[in-house]
Amino acid sequence: MFTLPRRTRPVDHAEAHLVDQYTRLVSLAYLVLPASLSRHRRVLLAHGIAQRALPRTGRIRGTRHHERVPQQRGDTGGGQSVGDQLRERVLRAALDCERRPRGWPKRLPPPRTVLTWLPVVWGLRLFPRAGGAEELALGAKLAHVPAATRAAFVLRHLEGLADSKAGALLAAAGVADPRRALRASHRLDATAGASAETLLRSQEFDACSVQTRPTDLLRRRRRFGLLWAVTAVVAVLVVLATALGGDDTEPSAAALPTGAAGPDQLVRVGGDVWADTSRVDFTAWPPRGDRTRDEELLTRALATWAAPPQGTRIAKSPGTTAQAPTGAPQLLYAGEVDGQTVAVFHEGQRLVRYSERDGEAATLDFARADDSDVTTAAAVALTRGGNGTRYLLAPWIAEAERRDLLRPDTPARALEFGKDGITEPAAVPSPGGSCDAWPVLQLRSSDRIVEKHAFLVTDLGGLTPAHLSYTPLPGQGAPARQPREATSTNALTSWATTACRLDEFRDDGVRAVNVWDFAEQDLPERGGQAVWSCARATTWRGPGQVLLQFKARSAGPAPVVGRAAPTAACSRFGQHVLATAQWVAPSGARYLLAAGSRQVTSLKVSGAVDATVQGRTLARRIDSAEVRPKVRARLANGSTLKPVAGTGNIERADG
Beta pairing class for 454-458 and 466-471: antiparallel
H or E element in which residue 539 lies? strand 529-539
Helices marked H in 403-531? 489-496
Q: Give the angle subtended at the CA of 134 by the CAs of 138 and 150, to the nearest 5°.
A: 15
Q: What was the pLDDT predicted at 476?
A: 60
Residue 362: CB atoms within 10 A of its CB come to 20
Nearest to 441 by CA among 420, 421, 426, 451: 426
Beta pairing class for 590-596 and 578-584: antiparallel
Nearest to 642 by CA among 569, 587, 582, 572: 569
Q: What is the longest distance spanned by two Cα atoms in the chain?
A: 108
Query: Do 415 and 401 form a contact (C-beta atoms < 8 A)?
Result: yes
Conformational region of residue 339, where left means phi above 0, alpha means psi within -120 to 50, and beta covers everything else: left
Whole-angstrom distance, CA of residue 342 vs CA of residue 301 = 9
Whole-angstrom distance, CA of residue 225 vs CA of residue 471 = 55
H or E element in which residue 48 lies? helix 39-51
What is the crossing angle of helices 133-143 and 178-192, to 10°? 160
Distance spanning both ends of the chain, measured CA to CA: 98
Residue 573: CB atoms within 10 A of its CB come to 10
Q: Is 19 exposed, middle or buried (0-12, 13-18, 19+ CB in 10 A)?
A: exposed
Q: What was the pLDDT predicted at 61?
A: 35
**3-class secondary-structure state, position 441:** strand
The partner residues of 384 in beta bridges, in order of sequence, read 389
Q: Which residues of 36-58 are buried (b: 16+ CB within 10 A; e: fewer)?
A: bbbbbbbbbbbbbbbeebbbeee
E strand intervals along 338-465: 340-347, 350-356, 363-368, 379-385, 388-393, 397-404, 413-414, 439-445, 454-458
E strand intervals along 570-622: 578-584, 590-596, 600-606, 611-614, 617-622
Whole-angstrom distance, CA of residue 617 vs CA of residue 638 = 18
H or E element in which residue 283 lies? none
Q: Give the angle subtended at the CA of 23 by the CAs of 21 and 29, to the nearest 5°.
A: 100
Whole-angstrom distance, CA of residue 134 vs CA of residue 138 = 6
Q: Which residues of 295-319 are buried (b: 16+ CB within 10 A; e: fewer)?
A: eebbbbbbbbbbebeeeeeebbbee
Residue 501: CB atoms within 10 A of its CB come to 20
Q: Give the angle subtended at the CA of 637 by the CAs of 633 and 638, to the nearest 5°.
A: 55
Q: Output the CA–CA distances (angstroms, integers) from residue 627 to 37, 269, 310, 547, in the order listed.
A: 63, 63, 59, 23
Q: What was the pLDDT predicted at 222?
A: 59
Q: Output the CA–CA distances (angstroms, integers) from residue 569 to 317, 543, 544, 615, in the order listed.
A: 23, 10, 8, 21
DSSP state of 449: T
Nearest to 370 by CA among 442, 317, 328, 307: 317
Nearest to 609 by CA among 617, 619, 600: 619
Residue type, 188: L
Query: Do 473 and 519 form a contact (C-beta atoms < 8 A)?
Result: yes
Whole-angstrom distance, CA of residue 599 vs CA of residue 604 = 15
The partner residues of 512 in beta bridges, in order of sequence, read 467, 538
Residue type, 580: T
Whole-angstrom distance, CA of residue 298 vs CA of residue 292 = 8
**3-class secondary-structure state, position 549:** strand
pLDDT averaged per 10 residues in sequence order, the chain, 655 residues: 47 78 87 83 86 63 40 46 86 82 55 54 69 76 85 89 90 88 81 72 80 61 63 74 51 58 91 90 95 94 94 93 91 95 94 93 94 95 93 97 96 96 94 87 94 93 96 76 92 95 92 96 91 95 92 78 91 92 91 94 91 94 85 94 72 41
Helices marked H in 144-216? 147-157, 163-172, 178-192, 196-200
Nearest to 536 by CA among 560, 519, 512, 520: 512
Q: Where are the domains of the chain?
A: 10-213, 249-372
**3-class secondary-structure state, position 281:** coil
Query: Do 73 and 82 form a contact (C-beta atoms < 8 A)?
Result: yes
Whole-angstrom distance, CA of residue 525 vs CA of residue 507 = 42
Whole-angstrom distance, CA of residue 22 vs CA of residue 16 = 10
Q: Output the CA–CA distances (angstroms, integers) from residue 57 to 80, 297, 336, 558, in the order listed.
A: 17, 62, 65, 74
Q: What was the pLDDT predicted at 39?
A: 80
Helix count and strand count (H, E) for the chain: 13, 27
H or E element in which residue 75 lies? none
